[in-house]
Amino acid sequence: MAKQIFTSEQKQRITDAVAELEKESSGELVLYYAKSSDNYAGAAWKLTGIMGIAFTFVASLAAYLWVLPALFTPIVISIVIALVMLATLSLSLLLPLLRVAVTSDNVVEHRVLTKARDMFLQEQVFDTVDRTGILIFISALERKVVVLGDSGINQKITQDDWKNVVRLVIAGIKQKQMTEGIIKAVDACKELLLGNGFTVKPNDTNELPDAIRIEE
């Protein structure tokens, strides 16, 4: 049975925070929680290749220095290297964090941003009358958060303005209080919106669902 990420009570608290933001501002906020932004399968093969090369080098050096035990014939060495590579591949496939660890920061950032943009489209964050949709995208494996605003929002609020929102979510994750971090981030979004003139309009309607989207 999969571990429950949010309890029913936590989901409701997040929904209520989003509803409160949309009650006071013209923004439409979508929260999306993803387990990961990529499987980083290439990293598993990369690590396997590195370990294979490393053990081959060590064995060759030992043979050159005449310190390799006699029982380590070329066939035995080949078998050992193959087993090491198989073990490395298996461990890499079992541990997603290991695959992320051997992936460059630039690649991880790109994968997270790419998926965030995909979810912006999938969840139709762009589909609001005044283009005031906002996506807070949380990628759990990488511990990365991306905030994307639609064109109406981006006229006044820049990507740098969202840094505190990102910081609050990440701080909550690190402190194992993700719900609290998310709610604080939603409140910070509300302050940004109201501070930049995105106040609620008389004819305002709830254009996007308030509940957090959770990737299964």
Note the pLDDT tens digit of each residue in 13-52.
999 999 999 999 999 999 999 999 999 988 888 889 988 9
Verify that 193 and 148 share a domain, yes or no. Answer: yes
**pLDDT, average across residues 65-78:** 80
pLDDT above 70 (res 196):
yes
Verify that 127 and 189 share a domain, yes or no. Answer: yes
Verify that 130 and 190 share a domain, yes or no. Answer: yes
Q: Residue 2: what pLDDT?
A: 43
Which of 84, 101, 118 is the last residue in one of the domains? 101
pLDDT in tens, 80-114: 889 988 998 898 888 999 999 989 999 999 999 99
Ranking 52-61, 98-107, 132-141, 204-213 by mean pLDDT, the lowest is 52-61
Q: Are 86 and 27 in contact (CB under 8 A)?
A: no
Is 96 part of any domain? yes
Higher pLDDT, 163 or 3: 163
Verify that 80 and 115 share a domain, yes or no. Answer: no
pLDDT in tens, 172-185: 999 999 999 999 99
Is 121 part of any domain? yes
Verify that 195 and 145 share a domain, yes or no. Answer: yes
pLDDT above 60 (res 70):
yes
pLDDT above 70 (res 117):
yes
How is residue 163 written in tokens?
Answer: 């840094």
pLDDT grade, residue 1 (50/70/90)?
Answer: very low
Q: Residue 71: what pLDDT?
A: 77
Which of 101, 123, 143 is the last residue in one of the domains? 101
What CATH number should be reported for the domain holding residue 154?
A: 3.10.310.50
Average pLDDT, the chain: 91
Is 57 part of any domain? yes
Is 2 part of any domain? no
Provide the residue range defining the domain that includes 97.
Answer: 41-101
Is 1 part of any domain? no
Which of 52, 86, 101 is the last residue in one of the domains? 101
Distance CA 125, CA 194 (A): 19
Is 49 part of any domain? yes
The count of structural domains within the chain is: 2
Q: Residue 128: what pLDDT?
A: 93
